[in-house]
Homo-oligomer: A and B are copies of this chain.
Amino acid sequence: VKARAVRSSGVPTITQVAEAAGVSRATVSRAFGQPELLSDATVKLVREVADQLGYVPNQTARALSTGRAGNIALVVPDITNPFFAAIMRGAQALARQQGYATFLGDSDETPELEDLLLTRLAAQVDGFILVSSRLTRERIRAHAARRPLVLLNRDVSGIPRLLIDAASSYEAAVEHLAGLGHRAIAYVSGPAISWSNRQRRDAVSRAAERCGLLLFIVPTEKPTFEAGQRCTEAVLKTGATAALAFDDVTAQGLMSGLAARGLSVPGDMSVVGCDGVVATMTYPPLSSISIDCFGVGQTGVRMLLDVLGGERVREKSMLATELVLRATTAPPQGTAVLSPVKTAAGKARGENLSARKP
């Protein structure tokens, strides 16, 4: 039999190590996989030879043989969004530490692409983490039937998931604004398919009603800076004196749009965001609902690895959020300062009043 096609000859195989070390391939395999079965001397010898040759066990072959790929995939709608980037970082850090490599799928906010990524990657990974998935429940269930799958920031019963509970914080934010004297507020919404958008919108709606505030819903296409900018006019037209955005990036866009029109924040309009990743970087620093994104990523990986390890995992976990007051909320123009902030559910805090969590 003839040798195969141009096999990138750069990478040594287990056979070469075995020959060089004068042992069987099985022994080399064990030297890496289960060294406790071998004598110390043998392990040492094999490892030295391997090092010298630059041998590293071929993960692909290993995967085929064991059925374990040693890879996981993280799929996000837009890696450019700092919220997802931070989650990715947390996930990847823990995954690597646990011996897993991470595929990153960017679905560009489209369900079709997300679907494609999942089917294409399925055989190469041991499991998936879907962040803010734009897929239908049916598709998610279908994919979950083929490979272990964990949901972040998306609520589908029967699938292990970590939910970011921003509802109470949004309610607190609305109450905070009401306390400042605002009578009409706007919610700048996120993607219609987004679970968290619904959750946040509903929370705002509930709280607004309770506080007797007039609420306007302003739609956007995607949670991006540009989309936030573009909706500025629409927000202004409502006559609202304060805006709660779906996330920080959108809020930042809105602030930019306001500045471009010569309006000041919070003087002419109060703005509240959500995520806390970019909030500290805006000017003025954005009052925002803070999420521990790095932790979200880590938790996602932990849940997935638990599933892979056959352990029981809570099907549904909730992550608390916190309203952090910075510099973008104030009484509406021409309003005397009213009573101090009164928060019901979530507790608000000022950045300077307490240290950030560790």
Chain A residues packing against B (C-beta within 8 Å): 4-8, 10-11, 54, 56-61, 63-64, 66-67, 69, 71, 78-80, 82, 85-86, 88-89, 92-93, 96, 101-106, 108, 117, 119-124, 145-148, 225, 252-253, 255-256, 259, 280-285
- Option from B6, B58, B103 in Cβ contact (under 8 Å) with A123: B58
Whether A120 and B56, one on each chain, are in contact in the complex, defined by CB atoms closer than 8 angstroms, is: yes
- Option from B60, B79, B123, B280 in Cβ contact (under 8 Å) with A56: B123
A45 → B minimal CB distance (Å): 21
Whether A80 and B86, one on each chain, are in contact in the complex, defined by CB atoms closer than 8 angstroms, is: yes
Whether A123 and B80, one on each chain, are in contact in the complex, defined by CB atoms closer than 8 angstroms, is: no
Please, which residue of chain B has its CB at the minimum distance from the CB of A283?
A: B283
Whether A89 and B79, one on each chain, are in contact in the complex, defined by CB atoms closer than 8 angstroms, is: yes
Please, which residue of chain B has its CB at the minimum distance from the CB of A74?
A: B104
Interface centre among A6, A78, A92 (most CB of B within 10 A): A92
A299 → B minimal CB distance (Å): 18
Tallying the copies of this chain within the complex gives 2
CA–CA, A117 to B253, complex, Å?
36
A17 → B minimal CB distance (Å): 14
CA–CA, A88 to B102, complex, Å?
14
Residues of B within 8 A of A123 (CB): 11, 56-61
CA–CA, A122 to B106, complex, Å?
22
Residues of B within 8 A of A284 (CB): 259
Whether A56 and B89, one on each chain, are in contact in the complex, defined by CB atoms closer than 8 angstroms, is: no
24 sample A-B contacts, Cβ–Cβ < 8 Å, listed by A number: A4-B67, A5-B66, A7-B67, A8-B147, A8-B148, A11-B147, A56-B122, A59-B120, A60-B63, A60-B124, A61-B64, A71-B124, A79-B92, A85-B85, A88-B106, A92-B106, A93-B106, A102-B104, A252-B281, A253-B281, A256-B280, A256-B281, A259-B284, A282-B283
- Option from B64, B67, B104 in Cβ contact (under 8 Å) with A88: B104
Residues of B within 8 A of A281 (CB): 225, 252-253, 256
Please, which residue of chain B has its CB at the minimum distance from the CB of A277?
A: B80
A181 → B minimal CB distance (Å): 25
Beyond A6-B67, A11-B146, 17 additional contacts (C-beta under 8 Å) are A5-B66, A10-B146, A56-B119, A58-B123, A59-B120, A59-B124, A60-B69, A79-B79, A80-B85, A92-B106, A101-B121, A101-B124, A102-B103, A103-B104, A256-B281, A256-B283, A283-B283
The 7 closest A-B pairs by CB, nearest first: A10-B146, A104-B104, A58-B123, A283-B283, A7-B67, A80-B85, A60-B63
A9 → B minimal CB distance (Å): 9
A114 → B minimal CB distance (Å): 12
